[in-house]
Structure 1
Amino acid sequence: MNDFFIKTKRIGLRKYRPTDLESFAAINADSRVMEFFPEFAKLSPAEAEDVMERMNARIDLHGFGFWAAENLDDNQLMGFIGMQQVPYETEFTPAVEIGWRLAVDYWGKGMATEGAEACLSYAFGELKLKQIVSFTTPLNERSIRVMQRLGMTQRGSFDHPLIPEGHLLRKHVWYCLESADY
């Protein structure tokens, strides 16, 4: 079944299917994947199912979202890659963020960069967005390197409003890419 919103050489980005639940739950419960997210961000299988449903609803509503990222070599769910409207207020909102979360087996292979580059092309080409942001804790050097490879530049830092004061991961850096620079 070819129901991809975006397709690259190795990745298909699509809505979530019920058959994704086991893999999606495992990815979101893996302490290595969730290292730079607060403990409360780890998902139980029931929570993972709810998140998949909410992500699909956002895709239906906006025409984009954090899509299920499928490895085209074996049709396995790798995690997610995509964009969403930032759902809280910060110094750079309103904005659309680009993000990724992949199973450890797909790290270090350029998958996040490949999928995110395709999302940027879609964002600036099809959606005609003027800018895309991305953010993470300064400790997450892997994601920062992906942002830099995408041509994004650091614009500042902020305290993430959904992470409690005093938490090690509250401070975030944010990066931006303008359509004119793409």
Structure 2
Amino acid sequence: MTEIHTPRLLLRRWREDDLAPMAEINADPQVMQWIGDGSVRDAERTAEDIERWEEEWDEEGFGLFAVELLASGELAGFVGLSVPAFLPEVLPAVEIGWRLGTPYWGQGYASEAAAATLEFALTDRGLERVISIARLGNDASENVMRKLGMHLDRETTHPVSGFPLHVYAIDLTEYEA
């Protein structure tokens, strides 16, 4: 089982008891405002998402980690790697992304988890390049991307919604520098 420990977090595969807290995160309009078309997701959709995330682990050898606070055992959300099939112009690519519940914002958890996941991607999984995608205006996520050492690679639009997007990137040589 793939797990990563950081000073405050456990990044791990998904468990059955993660459904309720992740569904609560997905039902929060403030959390979802920058995801897809901004729609919240119910428990059924969240269960489908978790199943798909676990399948990606089995198929790709990477996926989205459940982020658990070591101090309390609470599920804070997710961070991890996925193939951004919704944006064909960047393929082939692997994206690093995150989604945390609002109680966990502003405490450095996203940066801490994403840094550990980026190291996992480039050193453990042997990826040569990782991207991250944010809707224009999602300054908090873009700040995390810059903290990871990523640079703005391109500006584009979402092929379905038409929302403007920023694509950040980092390759192995930049990471090692």
For normalisation by structure 2, the TM-score amounts to 0.93
The structure carrying a bigger helix percent of its residues is 2
Give the Cα–Cα distance (whole angstroms) in 1 for the partners of residues 126 and 2 of structure 2. Answer: 20
Structure-2 residue corresponding to 1:20: 18
Unaligned runs of 5+ residues in structure 1 are none
- Of 68, 71, 74 in structure 2, the residue corresponding to residue 73 of structure 1 is 71
- Of 102, 124, 147 in structure 1, the residue corresponding to residue 145 of structure 2 is 147
- Of 163, 172, 180 in structure 1, the residue corresponding to residue 173 of structure 2 is 180
Following TM superposition, by how much is the alpha carbon of 1:57 offset from its aligned partner in structure 2, in angstroms? 1.1
Following TM superposition, by how much is the alpha carbon of 1:156 offset from its aligned partner in structure 2, in angstroms? 1.1
Unaligned runs of 5+ residues in structure 2 are none
Following TM superposition, by how much is the alpha carbon of 1:164 offset from its aligned partner in structure 2, in angstroms? 2.5
Task: Check the 8 A contact 2:32/2:38 in 1, yes or no.
Answer: no
- Of 141, 160, 164 in structure 1, the residue corresponding to residue 161 of structure 2 is 164
Structure-1 residue corresponding to 2:31: 33
Give the Cα–Cα distance (whole angstroms) in 2 for the partners of residues 37 and 106 of structure 1. Answer: 17
Task: Check the 8 A contact 2:33/2:39 in 1, yes or no.
Answer: no
SS of the residue corresponding to residue 155 of structure 2 reads strand
Task: Check the 8 A contact 1:4/1:12 in 2, yes or no.
Answer: no
Structure-2 residue corresponding to 1:87: 85
Structure-1 residue corresponding to 2:136: 138
Following TM superposition, by how much is the alpha carbon of 1:11 offset from its aligned partner in structure 2, in angstroms? 1.2
Aligned-residue sequence identity (percent) comes to 35
Structure-2 residue corresponding to 1:108: 106
Bigger drift between 119-128 and 88-97 goes to 88-97
Give the Cα–Cα distance (whole angstroms) in 2 for the partners of residues 172 and 120 of structure 1. Answer: 21
Following TM superposition, by how much is the alpha carbon of 1:61 offset from its aligned partner in structure 2, in angstroms? 1.8
**Matched AA of 1:82:** G
How many residues end up aligned between the 2 structures? 175
For normalisation by structure 1, the TM-score amounts to 0.91
Following TM superposition, by how much is the alpha carbon of 1:122 offset from its aligned partner in structure 2, in angstroms? 0.8
Task: Check the 8 A contact 2:29/2:38 in 1, yes or no.
Answer: no
Task: Map Cα deviations across residues 126-164 of structure 1 (whole Å, 9 max, x no partner).
Answer: 111111000111110000000000000001111112x32
Give the Cα–Cα distance (whole angstroms) in 2 for the partners of residues 123 and 38 of structure 1. Answer: 24
